[in-house]
Amino acid sequence: MMSTAEKKPCLLCKKECDTYRNALRSNTEYACDHCGLYAVNDFVDTKKFKILASMYYYLLHMPLKKDCVYFVLDETKFEDTENVSYIGLKTLENFYPKNFSQKMDMSLLNLSCLYKEIGQEIDFVNTNMTRNDDLRIALFIDKEKIEERNREISSVLSSLAEMGLLVPSDVVKVGKPQYKISATGWLKIQELEAKNKVVSQGFIAMWFDSKMDSVKAKIISAIQDSGYAPMIISDKEHNNQIVPEILYEIRQSVFVIADLTGHRNGVYYEAGYANALGKEVILTCNEEDFEKRHFDISQQNIIKWKDEDELYEKLLKRIESTVGKNQ
């Protein structure tokens, strides 16, 4: 049963919001004006910064299909309802920056949500007495000590300024200049946002055998129904050698679906190449071949399917949760 509303800080932005305790479902729901409507299962460790930062980015930037996002340990144990999407910790791992370039891009997008008005100063006070909680989560600063945290916030802001994405403002606080998003920065934000909205492609790596035709059709349908264009090399007309053509299309793709059924070496190679490029790689495998998967990827969150319809349902959910539905 849902309790009456209680005012508490949002887990993410720390602003006060209405919260509702649901003891029956072992979760707490947060209705935050900034971050949106979300619920967190009691078993999710909200003391871990990377989990919180990933939740924050997901809520601000992923196109949401449902009214509420419910963060759980393992989304595969739940079925989406009419109003709720379930997002597990494995999925959330994809929404934490993996390198410097991603951190800069994702931090800039977060700043654009915190400071929406052109020319608005980024409110940062670099003192040991100031926590700067909102900037900490927006800039992915995994530091507990306030002085270390503020030092790294300053470093990220300086890096964005060196890239021309921020410029110093006329405001000075505690002897430190403030920043604001530059015209170049707003153009970059527009470019990053548009990148998620244009019709992009998903590459399919799989065993090309006639008995896999119905599987291929379902994978294509899941990609299309998520708003992306499927790219499968066997259907592409070209006059080039096949391997360079495959690598080119993987580089052009937003994500890769690699079905391991049959355990073809080429599928593993293409998935590894995409992973090295920082692409989102979604692995699937028929349950009859599942135990034969290679040791190196045995700990990955692989979609195990028993028939084509189950593959479609699970794959559609995984694409929209980890890559995002292309509206």
Structural domains in the chain, sorted by start: 6-94 (no CATH), 100-194 (1.10.10), 199-324 (3.40.50.450)
Cα 149 to Cα 90: distance, rounded to the nearest angstrom? 26
* The predicted structure's pLDDT at residue 10: 92
Provide the mean pLDDT of the chain.
Answer: 85
Residue range 138-170, pLDDT digits in tens = 999 999 899 999 999 999 999 999 999 999 887
Q: What is the pLDDT of residues 68-115, one digit of tens each?
A: 888 988 776 766 666 777 888 877 877 888 889 989 999 999 999 989
